[in-house]
Structure 1
């Protein structure tokens, strides 16, 4: 028997400020980018810096190679997504930031909050993904 639609969670759009509030306390998100072989997504540790996320990766890694640009001061289009869901209650939220990513200079690194990667190894490539679009949705009980 189908559940009564009044008992089912509802989907709502989140405004810009609520999206940033939700991801501000997080530590793990996913960066989506084109690695030359097509779209791909990798998890990263991050900190929120205004409307941007700061994350680190290995210099020799696919993410670093894909987000580097030959244009000084240029950005590479990318997206960043964080979500939290409770599978028991069928409630949760998802936030998406889309914009340009660029490597941070040594000077910029000294001015941003520290990002502590979970995995071991060198993570000396620092990036900022500056959001030009922030969107999100929440599934909640009425």
Structure 2
């Protein structure tokens, strides 16, 4: 990972971002249609330099069909550090037999006992990530000498 800026915040490279994304399973997909923004939790896998998730028919699939521009965000924290990665990209339902067969081979299973027949791939146009060192807030005012 890149060096910490001021030992508190570090910008992450794209390679760092993909590595961190691959270590997690739950992210948030943000869609935008007209004046409406929606956010959906989705379990996912990283496939190369893209994110793949499954979904049932419904508002999420309709919204990304109307406007394929999405944000995908994942974060993680411990007592010592935290990180956040945001992927700005395009979401596309996988439709060819070859695409679906390849997606079926991924280690991607629904977390809920529901049928989800649609695979969606989010391809990054850009991404950003930050890593944070956690700790107590510094003294805001200092100690006044009297």
What TM-score range do you get, normalising by the shorter chain?
A: 0.7 to 0.9
What residue in structure 1 maps to residue 139 of structure 2?
none
- Aligned-residue CA RMSD in angstroms? 2.1
Q: Does 1:62 align with 2:59?
A: yes
Q: Does 1:124 align with 2:117?
A: yes
What residue in structure 2 maps to residue 111 of structure 1?
102
Moved more, 30-39 or 98-107: 30-39
Taking structure 2 as the reference length, the TM-score comes to 0.79
Taking structure 1 as the reference length, the TM-score comes to 0.81
Superimposed CA distance per residue, residues 109-137 of structure 1 (whole angstroms, 9 cap, x where no aligned partner): 11131421101211111100000102100
What residue in structure 1 maps to residue 143 of structure 2?
none
Please say which structure displays the higher CA radius of gyration. 2
Query: 4+ residue runs of structure 1 moved beyond 6 angstroms?
Result: none
Residue-pair matches, total: 127
| Distance in 2, Cα, partners of 1:35 & 1:116 | 28
What residue in structure 1 maps to residue 133 of structure 2?
140
Give how far 1:63 is off.
0.5
| Distance in 1, Cα, partners of 2:132 & 2:7 | 6
Segments of structure 1 that go 5 or more residues without pairing to the other structure are 1-7, 70-74
- Pairing partner for 2:71 from 79, 98, 108: 79
What residue in structure 2 maps to residue 21 of structure 1?
19
| Distance in 2, Cα, partners of 1:55 & 1:141 | 31
Segments of structure 2 that go 5 or more residues without pairing to the other structure are 1-5, 136-146
